[in-house]
């Protein structure tokens, strides 16, 4: 079975006040190694609602170009609400691209759910590289109520709540 190569072109903004998600032409290769899910946000504290809207639209467009399936969710990280994305079956190379986008969007971390259901929080190092460290958070599970620690992801389409327990 051959491999498919995709190119991601830079996303251009429509006006000067919109923040650009620059994905300078990146080549990635689909492989048989998959990460079950990636959960991340592109929201940043202090952004206006209109800037958040445009950044989210740009990110969703980038995901479409990358050809990955995703679901828009509500997320809570350290008690702060944010719009999150559950990105299903991302290849390893796609995961690396998502880490670069997270760094561009000043994210503290993203979640990676492995094929066995373990949840790893990957912290972004904004001073030098893209990956600072990973911390095991527990098993990614559907839960009946929102956890006390305030960290969860809730699907807009199904209403299901997920957390690392």
Is 122 strand, coil or helix? strand
Tell me how many domains the chain contains: 1
Domain that holds residue 75: 5-164
The end-to-end CA distance of the chain, in Å, is 38
If one compares 146 and 4, the residue with the highest pLDDT of the two is 146
46-63: per-residue pLDDT in tens?
889 999 999 999 999 988
Q: What is the DSSP letter of 145?
A: S
- pLDDT value for 92: 74
């Amino acid at each position: 079975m051959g491999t498919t190569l995709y190119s991601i072109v830079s996303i251009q903004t429509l006006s000067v006040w919109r923040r650009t998600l620059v994905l300078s032409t990146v080549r990635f290769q689909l492989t048989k190694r998959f990460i079950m899910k990636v959960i991340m946000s592109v929201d940043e504290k202090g952004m206006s609602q209109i800037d958040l809207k445009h950044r989210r639209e740009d990110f969703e467009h980038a995901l479409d170009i990358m050809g990955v399936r995703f679901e828009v969710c509500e997320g809570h990280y350290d008690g702060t609400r944010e719009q999150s994305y559950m990105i299903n079956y991302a290849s390893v190379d796609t995961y690396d691209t998502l880490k670069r986008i997270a760094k561009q969007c000043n994210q503290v971390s993203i979640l990676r759910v492995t094929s066995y259901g373990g949840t790893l929080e990957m912290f972004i190092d904004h001073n030098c590289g893209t990956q600072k460290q990973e911390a095991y958070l527990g098993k990614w599970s559907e839960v009946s109520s929102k956890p006390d620690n305030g960290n969860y992801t809730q699907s807009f389409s199904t209403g299901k709540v997920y957390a690392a327990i």
